[in-house]
A and B are shown apart, each in its own frame.
Chain A
Amino acid sequence: MPGPLAGIRVFDLTMWMVGPWASMQLGAMGADVIHIEQPGVDWSTLGAGVPPTINGTSIGYITWNMNKRGLFLDLKSPEDRATALELLKTCDVFLINMRTGVAGRLGLDYETVAQINPGIVYCSVTGWGESGPMAERPGADVQMQYFSGFWSTNGAPGGEREVYRHFTQIDATTGNYAAQAILMALLARKRTGRGQRIEIAMLRAAAALQTARIAEYLATGEVAQPLGSAAFATAPDQAFLCEDQQYIGVSVTSEPEWHAFCAALERPELVDDPRFATNIERVSRRDELAALLTPLFAAKPQYYWMMRLNRAGVPCGYPLRIEQLKHHRQVTENDYLVDVETSAWGQVMTGGPPWRFSRTPARWSGTPAPGEHTGDILDELPQRRPTPAALPAGD
């Protein structure tokens, strides 16, 4: 069986990360994603030139454009614009993540595209939304992490709050919400027979990702203070130092787990201790509880606790590094990291499909060179309009 989106075609007018990340998901699910680049593009500027590079190209472009075909179109030339419109008649999805107004200037606003293809699901992604005082401002992951409060719940206890030092998480989250919305609109089209316009804003996505944490603020009006490895809503749910100076994270989130935890620690009397009788009590006395548990964990090594807590059914884990993960059976047997061949950058390691479908398997495949499939794609068009600008640059 092909992937679940076999037969769906995506016109992918995207750049940097958010848009490409969204279409990459659709491609892995079997959609034919046609990624548009300007002919003659400088490869060193792809993916916003985000470091590091492989063979001079940003790893951003290489990561975010897997599972696609590459097409050169110069949308400012009348010939290529006509080709774009021909191609759009064959597409189900139009995806763009350029600043508000760019689609209109290119003559590819929703009204124009929907006129030639009323079934099109047209998704526009922006940073701050398409209107409002900040609509015209540039917005990327880094700014969004700072602005949306994504940093404000992280940090060592009693210390300063800190930013999550991997800038991509809000970009990818926004792209993932855009892919959701596109899939939902395709389902609605089965019912209504019509496409529609979708707007996705990074700021909305960043807030949605933090739904539960922001809800806690909205409930109390109090800004949370950082708790290190501890959870805000559950206890004990944090890391402890073990006898061998390694950490173990334990996560008790229900009353049966609390009972199992006390038994695993051979402290059954804690179950009857009124100070810790419910999660609400334990969260309210988080420090007192941690002070009581710290010497217990310090008396045995990490692996002891892993065995002991696993056997008791209490969630626990320990910090791992990528060197330990990349060949780990848990990772390889689930295809969570995969090696893929790319046309211009050799073999690279990346995340595999995050979903597993029993009947319509997803597949992860390499990144096209810009414009790599221009000839093939134009040949497939019912009315081919070959243009010099549309031919691949260079040799």
Chain B
Amino acid sequence: MAGPLEGYRVVELAEGVSGPYTAMALGDAGADVIKIEPAAGDRARGWGPPRQGDDSAVFLSLNRNKRAISLDLATPDGVAIARRLLASADVAVVDAGRLPDPSLASEPASRLNPALVYCAISGYGGTGPWADWPAGELPAQLMAEATASLGRIGEPPVRAGTDMASMYAAIYAVQAICAALLARDDAGGQRIEVSLFGSLLAMRSTLWVALSNPDAWWGFHLDNYIKPPDHGYRCQDGAVYISFARMPRERLDALLADLKMEWVRDHPDFRLLAIDTAGGAGRYSHIVRPLWEQAFRAFPAEEVMAIVERHGGLAFPMHDYAALVNDPQARHLGIVQSIDQPGVGPMSVIAPPWQFSDTPAELRLPAPRLGEHGRAILAEVGFPADVADGYIRQGTVRA
């Protein structure tokens, strides 16, 4: 059985991270995705290092399960081909801020294809004073105060290494597209909008409610931004996560004995260590962490985790990517899968996040070369072979 979105056609007119990840998710779920690239290609092809073959690792990771056509969108013929593709599609995924031609905007596209679900992804939203500002991942993280949760006050800003703004916007875009397709029988096609900035704000809603009218000022939703950086709990050979649900006196005694840290009873902050058992999320974590670490340095991480769990706590390893992809649970779940990427060979990729019992997501197609499917796509939307040849000869279509 094919994926849940089998039978839907998606046209992607986007670059970088957000739009391509949106369209890839739809492709992973079985949709037929056609990626329109400008003559120079998606900018992410030129990112990195790291490079894999002729493309960046980032590009290959965000563009599987698509076919590609490359158009010179500075020419009327190129725009006309793009419009023909939009006319054939159920869904358009478009970078609102990088529209190559006004006739590809949502209104003319909807006149062309009233059933089209047109998803515009922007930096800051469809209206407001910043609507036309050029946007990107770092600007969105800074403007939405997402960087407040990293670094040290007074020091240079630190970005989230994951492209949170772009990925969150893509995840919301997929939701909106699917919802609009569900409503299409009644409502027809429509324009939907998501933005990097708005998605970051939505994802931190818990913080905004916490700031509304709290009974008291503490807890990680309120005061974590004024704490120092959290690097886990360092042991002899790496860091771990620990927490305890509660710490009765006798359990604490036994734990301190096993960790050879009875000395901590004489420390002025011992009272806080005994009551604040929530680990990195705790109220006094920044004060009690160094005390735990002083003891943990005498043990390998494995042993610290065993001791903590033996005394009723929770302990987890703090993985980097090397440890994550080799972790037995990650391997059991098949989080890393392999796809045969031409020019690279068997390539490891991260699997789609959903497990469907009847309509499984599949890795069907490797990321396309620039213009790889141009000729086939032109034929599918009704251009005769001689016309297609003409477009390719004159450079309107790169194939």
Q: Is A201 an interface residue (CB 8 A)?
A: yes
Q: Is B183 an interface residue (CB 8 A)?
A: yes
Q: Is B351 an interface residue (CB 8 A)?
A: yes
Indicate if the CB atoms of B46 and A161 lie closer than 8 Å. no
Q: For residue B379, give the distance in angstroms from its CB to the closest CB of chain A.
A: 26
User: Contacts A211-B350, A349-B212; is A184 near B5 (CB within 8 Å)?
Assistant: yes
Q: For residue B344, give the distance in angstroms from its CB to the closest CB of chain A.
A: 9
User: Within 8 Å CB of A17, what residues of B?
Assistant: 206
Residue of A180, A196, A208, A333 with highest tally of chain B CB at under 10 A: A180
Pair count A-B, CB < 8 A: 541
Q: For residue A159, give the distance in angstroms from its CB to the closest CB of chain B.
A: 8
User: Within 8 Å CB of A133, what residues of B?
Assistant: 328-329, 332
Binary CB contact string for chain B from 40 to 83 against chain A (1 if under 8 A, 0 otherwise) = 10011011111110001110111000000000000000000000
**B318 touches which one: A147, A191, A209, A313 (CB < 8 A)?**
A147
User: Contacts A322-B211, A334-B125; is A203 near B335 (CB within 8 Å)?
Assistant: yes
B contact residues, total (Cβ < 8 Å): 161
User: Within 8 Å CB of A279, what residues of B?
Assistant: 46-48
Indicate if the CB atoms of A247 and B129 lie closer than 8 Å. no
Q: Is A320 an interface residue (CB 8 A)?
A: yes
Q: Is A253 an interface residue (CB 8 A)?
A: yes
A313 CA to B212 CA, complexed, in Å: 36
**A152 touches which one: B57, B125, B199, B319 (CB < 8 A)?**
B319
Q: Is A376 an interface residue (CB 8 A)?
A: no
Which of B221-229, B254-262, B265-273, B380-388 binds A? B221-229
Binary CB contact string for chain A from 132 to 158 against chain B (1 if under 8 A, 0 otherwise) = 111000100011001111111111100
A325 CA to B197 CA, complexed, in Å: 11
Binary CB contact string for chain B from 328 to 355 against chain A (1 if under 8 A, 0 otherwise) = 1110110110000000000111111111
User: Within 8 Å CB of B124, what residues of A?
Assistant: 330, 334
**A355 touches which one: B133, B193, B336, B358 (CB < 8 A)?**
B193
Indicate if the CB atoms of B140 and A317 lie closer than 8 Å. yes
Q: For residue A170, give the distance in angstroms from its CB to the closest CB of chain B.
A: 10
18 contacts across the A-B interface (CB closer than 8 A): A4-B187, A60-B206, A133-B328, A142-B241, A142-B281, A180-B171, A187-B182, A188-B359, A204-B335, A212-B163, A253-B136, A280-B48, A283-B49, A349-B212, A352-B198, A355-B173, A357-B190, A358-B190
Q: Could you list 9 further interchain pairs (A-B, Cβ under 8 angstroms) beyond the known A149-B323, A354-B199? A: A52-B222, A142-B281, A162-B150, A165-B229, A183-B178, A198-B356, A216-B48, A217-B325, A280-B46
